[in-house]
Amino acid sequence: MQIKIYLLKFVYMIRLYTLFVLLVIVINSFGQNEFYNNGGIVFLNSGSASATPTLFVNGNLINKDGTFNNSGSFLELKGDITNTQTTTYHYVSTGIERFSGSSDQTIYGKWNGTSANQDQFYNLKINKGAVSGENIILDNAVAGNTVNVNAAGSLTFEGSNGIIRTQSTSSGTSDINATGAYTNTLYLQNSDPTKFTGYSIASGATTKYIEGKLQQQLIAGKSYYYPVGVKPTLLGGMNAFNLNITSIAASTAVVGYVNLYSTALVTSDYTFCDVAQVDNNTGTANYFSTCIGGPDGIMDLMKLTNHTNQSWEVTPVPAPASVNYDITVYPSTNFNASGTFASIPCGPYGNVKYLARNGVPGGNLAILGNSPAFNRIQGYYSCITGNSLSSQNGFSNFQLWGADNSNTNLPVELTKFYITPINNEYFNLSWQTVSEVNNAGFFIERSISGAPFEQIGWIAGNGTTNSIHEYSFADHNVVAGTIYYYRLKQIDIGQSFKYSNILSGVLNGANTFNVLTIVPNPTTINPAATVYMPEDGTMQISIYDILGQSLKSNNISLLKGNNKIEIDLSDLAAANYLVKFNFNNTIITKKIIKN
pLDDT per 10-residue tile (average), the chain, 595 residues: 34 35 36 83 85 94 94 96 89 97 96 94 97 95 84 97 97 95 97 98 94 97 98 97 95 96 92 82 70 82 95 93 95 95 93 96 91 76 95 94 90 72 85 77 88 91 80 89 85 75 75 79 88 88 90 92 88 93 91 91
For 318-413, list the strands marked E by DSSP. Answer: 323-330, 343-344, 350-351, 353-357, 360-361, 367-371, 377-381, 388-392, 397-402, 408-409
The predicted structure's pLDDT at residue 455: 94
The predicted structure's pLDDT at residue 14: 36
For CA atoms 85, 88, 89, 92, give the dihedral sign. Answer: positive
Whole-angstrom Cα distance, residue 422 to residue 576? 33
**Burial letters 296-307, b for 16+ CB under 10 A, else e:** bebbbbbbbebb
Q: Other C-beta atoms within 10 Å of 269: how many?
A: 19
Length of the chain counted residue by residue: 595
| Terminal C-alpha separation, the chain | 110
Output DSSP code: residue 327. E
The predicted structure's pLDDT at residue 490: 83
The helix (run of H) or strand (run of E) holding residue 334 is: helix 333-337
Whole-angstrom Cα distance, residue 4 to residue 108? 19
For residue 520, say if its preceding peptide bond is cis, omega within 30 degrees of 0.
Answer: yes
How is 11-29 classified by DSSP, letter by letter?
Answer: SSPEEE-HHHHHHHHHH--
Q: Other C-beta atoms within 10 Å of 87: how many?
A: 5
Q: Other C-beta atoms within 10 Å of 425: how many?
A: 11
Whole-angstrom Cα distance, residue 149 to residue 189? 6
Whole-angstrom Cα distance, residue 428 to residue 478? 11
The predicted structure's pLDDT at residue 540: 95
The predicted structure's pLDDT at residue 405: 92
Contact 432, 396 (CB under 8 A): no
Strand order in the sheet with 537-545: 550-558, 537-545, 576-583, 586-593
β-bridge partners, 540: 555, 582
The predicted structure's pLDDT at residue 397: 95
Nearest to 451, CA basis, from 516, 499, 356: 516
Whole-angstrom Cα distance, residue 383 to residue 395? 21
For CA atoms 279, 280, 284, 286, give the dihedral sign. Answer: positive
The predicted structure's pLDDT at residue 552: 93
The predicted structure's pLDDT at residue 415: 64
How is 212-272 classified by DSSP, letter by letter?
Answer: SEEEEEE-TT-EEEE-EES-TTSTTSB-EEEEEEEEESS-EEEEEEEEE---PPSS-SEEE
Q: Other C-beta atoms within 10 Å of 422: how many?
A: 12
The predicted structure's pLDDT at residue 287: 87
The predicted structure's pLDDT at residue 285: 67
Whole-angstrom Cα distance, residue 461 to residue 466? 13
The predicted structure's pLDDT at residue 293: 86
What residues contact 336, with CB distance under 8 A and at least 6 apart? 308, 400
The predicted structure's pLDDT at residue 426: 87
Q: Which amino acid, 54?
A: T
For 23-167, list the strands marked E by DSSP. Answer: 35-38, 41-45, 55-57, 61-64, 67-71, 74-77, 81-84, 91-93, 96-99, 105-109, 121-126, 135-140, 146-157, 163-165
Q: Which domains does the chain carry?
A: 270-409 (no CATH), 414-506 (2.60.40.10), 514-593 (2.60.40.1930)
Nearest to 319, CA basis, from 356, 362, 358: 358
